[in-house]
Structure 1
Amino acid sequence: MLQTRVARTRRLALIGLAGALAVSMTACASERGSGGEGGAGNENTLVFGAAGAPKNFDPIFNDDGESFRPIRQMYETLITYKPGTADLQPGLATEWRPSDEGKTWTFKLREGVKFHDGTDFNAEAVCFNFDRWFNMPSAAAQSQMIYYGDVFEGFANNQGDATGQPVYKSCEAPDPTTAVLHLNKAKGAFPDAFGLTSLSMSSPTALQKYKADDVKQSGDSFSYPAYANEHPTGTGPYKFQSYDKAAGTITLVRNEDYWGEKAKLERIIFRIIPDENARKQELTSGQIDGYDLPNPADYQALRDAGAQVMIRPVFNILYLGINQANNPALKDVRVRKAIEHAINKEQLAKNELPEGASARDQFVPQETDGYTDQVEKHNFDPNQAKQLLRQAGVQNLTLKFYVPTEVSRPYMPNPVEIAGAIADDLKAVGINVEMVQRPWNGGFKDDVQKAGKHDLHLLGWTGDYGDAGNFIGTFFGREKAEFGFNNPEIFNALSTADAQVDEAAQKRAYEQAAVAISKYVPAVPLTSSPPAIVVGGNIQGLVPSPLTDERFATVTKGQQS
């Protein structure tokens, strides 16, 4: 009998709705919208306000929250996360076991599971999915597989950005309920990374029928096949019904043949409402049942209207990126340390971020193995900043500070205001700042992460799973245009940590890497913030996730207070 590998102990505790979620219901809401069969007024329908349109519905090609939210209701992974935590629990696999050297993973699969098209989920289906990802046929498709590329480090034929030996080797199905994954090298991100939404299981029949891998590129644009847009086929408690782009609505219906406990509600409708203030108004008027990332300034007004503002456990980081490639002064570690000493992080957290935000002195979350008090700290000290600049022989330094607009992230609710506070701190020690504002999806990410046009930039990260490598490995594991440095010591330290199978050894290795990063200062850790999700006062059963991995199958609708 296979033995389930015990998930790493995390301090991200399961938080019940009646407990420390900071759910506030201080008044009755305005009347709910009457709604029709699919409206918010229907007790069998959840209407959720989405901030933007999904990219598509094929998990492997996605990396953003607006796409993942509906995908998570339709698809499942081999291993999943316990609600309200980053701890692991069985998904489509009931048990999992690594070999001693970590290069083979054996999964015992759940029996009696079917995909939405009625075909069987079994070991052959698991291997089909892993082989599909590994053998993705085009550079266009590979370039869209962001999470797979990060975790598995390459493909059978590297046509995209991936180079070197890939992690994946092969998969075998000795019997219908046993899948064996063979790797070329151990990967410390496992088993946690097996829970990534991108690695959800799709129906092999539907993938082939609707030509799922036929991704086309035209300039900077990509087009996706029928599977991704019209026929997503998973095993989850909800299944796809329609996506009306003109109306901006995505409709999912309950999977009546679901293997586990069936979803409480018959239908979920995601209404695309780009304006945050409009989402607030739609919720308080009863036209929608909830939305994500409410503006912290609106928390009390929402509570006063009877809504439940649910504060997630903190699992994110806001940072000031430093690009060493453009400005020679930034290659001097004394200048980079001066930048960190110049920033009043405590004041930033207090004045510009949600209640509960805190200053950070490293990139590994305190709740994650790899966090250490031994990092080199560069506390707020303008005089020390000025002294370091003098020692480096730097005067009248001017830096291009790239700041995103048209975006609100869990770690960064008001980017321009946050950047303004940082710019003021830098000016106070003699560093001049030229602010360059660029739309999030209209130039900022390309300018910063691909072209490296900036000197400084504001960005952050919400953890995908409870592993230090998902933070510092993602940021600093290899040379990137975002940071513009080549430090073999750090790259090797992170690679060593990522290859550790023993949990204690991996913890020590990530702690050592965190210390090396703190001394080198490739970027400045700023703050962490507790993001919120808000729902109407009649919504019950939603468990906020530190990974923003909320599942709606447990949600019910009662009477408004």
Structure 2
Amino acid sequence: MNHSSMRRRGLIAVTGTAIAAMLLAGCVASEREADTEDSGESTSDIDGTFVFAASSDPVALDPAFAQDGETFRVSRQIFEGLIGTEPGTADPAPLLAEKWDSSEDGMSHTFTLKEGLTFHDDTPFNAEAVCSNFDRWYNWTGLAASEAFGYYYYKLFQGFASNPEQAVYKSCTPDGDYSVTVELNKPFAGFIPALSLPAFSMQSPSAMAEFGADEVGGSAEAPQMSEYGMAHPVGTGPFQFDEWAPGEQVTLTAYDGYWGEQGQIDEIIFRTIDDPTARRQALESGAIDGYDLVGPADTQALEEDGFQMVSRPPFTILYLAFNQAIPELQDPTVREALSFAIDKDALITQVLPEGTQKAIEFMPPVVNGYNEDVTTYDFDPEKAKELLAEAGYTEANPLKLDFNYPVNVSRPYMPDPEQIFTVLSTQLAAVGVETTPVSEEWGEYLDRTTGTADHGIHLLGWTGDYNDTDNFVGVFFGQQSSEWGFDNPDLFQKLAEARGIANLEEQSALYEQINEDVAQFIPGVPLAHPAPTLAFDPRVESYPASPVNDEVFTDIVLTK
């Protein structure tokens, strides 16, 4: 879940004032009272309207053109994929596919589908619909096939019908109505767990055709979504789309024809509140039922006041990236100096949540291929100054860099970007590096840092989407990208080889060496593995916290 390369424009900020919180509370109260009156239920019954505060608008309602957590949080309620995850883990599990069989070489995968399901528009879910989705991704062209739009397919499947020799995907063939075989053109050991990503959810072929799902426009810097992606998402999930008021809220309602357990919630309101203080005030006032990304300073106070606190296991990475399109950052001595200048322990103590782990590489310790013995650059400001001088930068001729960071947003790996920027820029200044702050709203920021070369050092991170090493180092460093700005064919080749090895022991050894190679190449500084915390009204008895954010609201248990 992950950062995002494309976002909605013109988000309307929700203020953090007490007045705003009271207005929100009144609005929600009136909505709930109306629901109760209309249904004839007594106030002692379970309130089926669940209000969750999102830290930003979704990018779009089509998850195939997204990669950010807020889009995927909404997507997981509307859509389902062939593969899900085991509750509380990142491991793959059956979802729309009841089972699957993979060939020994991993190049062929046959899925047995659930029978008798329909999309929200009554289009049958069957083998033809599955292949329609796979072929949709494979046949993208132009902007749709770019890193900035179809990020996950671009990163993981690496090619399209226009360049089939580069593509991981080869074909999808129906074997009757409820079985499909997907053939790969290249080995990809993470293929099955990757399908648990919301980006690869099954979507109604009828709705996508009717509302022009792939008719995207604009540019990487200013993307324009299709009519489908803005107002007509159709999946098989427990909730169907009702309304999106950009900058304010997304409303979903329970799908009566859902095949699984519906749970207690009949309406979800994802209300956009970008300020962490305003989210806390909204919870305290009763305006919302819960929110994610609780600020470290708020956790204990909320718990003492009786709110339910839920922590996810850290499956994240926060990093400071070096864009090697900048000439100064092409010098490995400069990158090494910047690494020695960063005091990760101080950063964690000052601004990151309790339970955060210090990072030494670009993936969490629980992922296959983690190398405990990688080269590290422990905080040493004097060493940093020596290396800068060696590279030609002195007090009279300081290293000057743009430092990009987002504002008015919280991410699981980056709860308060402005505080993180302040700490790190101060640390860099202490060794003589002059940074120019370049701040932008989240959408514009991600468009710039992941879709263009126009940025300097910058803050970003990742929430693991599934338990496979390629989902971390492969996504970051598997090919040339706008974010990192380097060309390293040897590293690209090693990652391409490792992602196709089916033997776990053999693959693990390759990834351990790759992590050492990355550490010596120094594309950036892996900072920390933050542990995100959620807060809920006391009426929430349990919430299905997942390390990969695979949280479907049918599993929430309410007491009133």
1:145-200 per-residue CA deviation (whole Å, 9 max, x = no partner) reads 11111111122136xxxx96111111101122211001111113211101110100
Root mean square deviation of aligned Cα = 2.5
1:513-552 per-residue CA deviation (whole Å, 9 max, x = no partner) reads 1011111111111111101122111113311111122110
Aligned-pair distance for 1:465?
1.2
Structure 2 match to 1:4:
none
Question: Which 10-residue stretch deviates more, 217-226 or 296-305?
Answer: 217-226
Does the alignment pair 1:425 with 2:427? yes
Aligned-pair distance for 1:141?
6.5
Contact 1:345 1:359 in 2 (8 A): yes
Pairing 1:330-345 to 2, within 5 Å after superposition: 330-345=329-344
Structure 1 match to 2:3:
none
Runs of 4+ in 1 over 6 A off after TM superposition: none
Does the alignment pair 1:99 with 2:103? yes
Structure 2 match to 1:120:
124
CA distance in 2, matches of 1:274, 1:344: 28
Contact 1:101 1:501 in 2 (8 A): yes
CA distance in 2, matches of 1:434, 1:522: 18
1:307-343 per-residue CA deviation (whole Å, 9 max, x = no partner) reads 2121111011111112333234x33333322222222
Contact 1:77 1:92 in 2 (8 A): yes
Question: Which 10-residue stretch deviates more, 58-67 or 525-534?
Answer: 58-67
**Which amino acid in structure 2 is aligned with residue 359 of structure 1?**
K
Contact 1:140 1:217 in 2 (8 A): no
Q: Secondary structure at the match of 2:366?
A: coil
Contact 1:141 1:215 in 2 (8 A): no
Aligned-pair distance for 1:349?
0.9
Distance 1:62 1:455, change over 3 A: closer
Question: Which 10-residue stretch deviates more, 41-50 or 194-203?
Answer: 41-50
Contact 1:342 1:425 in 2 (8 A): yes
Structure 1 match to 2:458:
457
1:185-218 per-residue CA deviation (whole Å, 9 max, x = no partner) reads 1113211101110100112222223332222337
Contact 2:274 2:410 in 1 (8 A): no
**Which amino acid in structure 2 is aligned with residue 149 of structure 1?**
Y
Q: Secondary structure at the match of 1:268?
A: strand
Q: Secondary structure at the match of 2:516?
A: helix
Question: Which 10-residue stretch deviates more, 216-225 or 191-200?
Answer: 216-225
Q: Secondary structure at the match of 2:110?
A: strand
Q: Secondary structure at the match of 1:36?
A: helix
Aligned-pair distance for 1:472?
1.2
Pairing 1:70-85 to 2, within 5 Å after superposition: 70-85=74-89
**Which amino acid in structure 1 is aligned with residue 156 of structure 2?**
V
Contact 1:153 1:164 in 2 (8 A): no
CA distance in 2, matches of 1:518, 1:182: 35
CA distance in 2, matches of 1:180, 1:451: 37
CA distance in 2, matches of 1:231, 1:406: 28
1:24-46 per-residue CA deviation (whole Å, 9 max, x = no partner) reads xxxxxx9994632459x861211
1:63-105 per-residue CA deviation (whole Å, 9 max, x = no partner) reads 2222222211111111111222111111111212222222211
Distance 1:310 1:199, change over 3 A: same
Q: Secondary structure at the match of 1:191?
A: helix
Contact 2:323 2:455 in 1 (8 A): yes
Q: Secondary structure at the match of 1:513?
A: helix
Contact 1:493 1:512 in 2 (8 A): no
| Higher share in helix | 2
Structure 1 match to 2:382:
383
Distance 1:402 1:100, change over 3 A: same
CA distance in 2, matches of 1:217, 1:343: 38
* Aligned partner (choices 33, 40, 47) of residue 36 of structure 1: 33
Aligned-pair distance for 1:225?
3.7
Does the alignment pair 1:373 with 2:372? yes
Distance 1:446 1:233, change over 3 A: closer
Contact 1:102 1:185 in 2 (8 A): no
Distance 1:457 1:56, change over 3 A: closer
Pairing 1:51-450 to 2, within 5 Å after superposition: 51-140=55-144, 143-157=148-162, 165-217=166-218, 220-245=221-246, 248-328=248-328, 330-396=329-395, 397-400=398-401, 401-429=403-431, 431-441=432-442, 443-450=444-451
Gaps of 5+ in 1: 1-29
Scaled by the length of structure 2, the TM-score of the pair is 0.87
Structure 2 match to 1:14:
none
CA distance in 2, matches of 1:322, 1:507: 27
Structure 1 match to 2:515:
514
Contact 2:221 2:444 in 1 (8 A): no
**Which amino acid in structure 2 is aligned with residue 336 of structure 1?**
R
Contact 2:85 2:92 in 1 (8 A): yes
1:447-478 per-residue CA deviation (whole Å, 9 max, x = no partner) reads 43344344422221111111111111121222
Distance 1:36 1:138, change over 3 A: farther
Distance 1:127 1:347, change over 3 A: same
Structure 1 match to 2:485:
484
Q: Secondary structure at the match of 2:191?
A: coil
CA distance in 2, matches of 1:57, 1:126: 19
Contact 2:222 2:447 in 1 (8 A): no
**Which amino acid in structure 1 is aligned with residue 460 of structure 2?**
L
Scaled by the length of structure 1, the TM-score of the pair is 0.87
Contact 2:221 2:452 in 1 (8 A): no
CA distance in 1, matches of 2:239, 2:404: 40
Q: Secondary structure at the match of 1:461?
A: strand
Distance 1:38 1:307, change over 3 A: farther
Q: Percent identity?
A: 41
Contact 1:254 1:263 in 2 (8 A): no
Q: Secondary structure at the match of 1:240?
A: strand
CA distance in 2, matches of 1:164, 1:387: 47
Distance 1:447 1:109, change over 3 A: closer
CA distance in 2, matches of 1:73, 1:305: 30
Contact 2:274 2:408 in 1 (8 A): no
CA distance in 2, matches of 1:220, 1:323: 17
Q: Secondary structure at the match of 1:96?
A: strand
CA distance in 1, matches of 2:386, 2:219: 51
CA distance in 2, matches of 1:114, 1:450: 36
1:254-294 per-residue CA deviation (whole Å, 9 max, x = no partner) reads 22222222232222122223333222222111121111212
**Which amino acid in structure 2 is aligned with residue 547 of structure 1?**
V
**Which amino acid in structure 2 is aligned with residue 402 of structure 1?**
N
**Which amino acid in structure 2 is aligned with residue 347 of structure 1?**
A
CA distance in 1, matches of 2:478, 2:291: 34
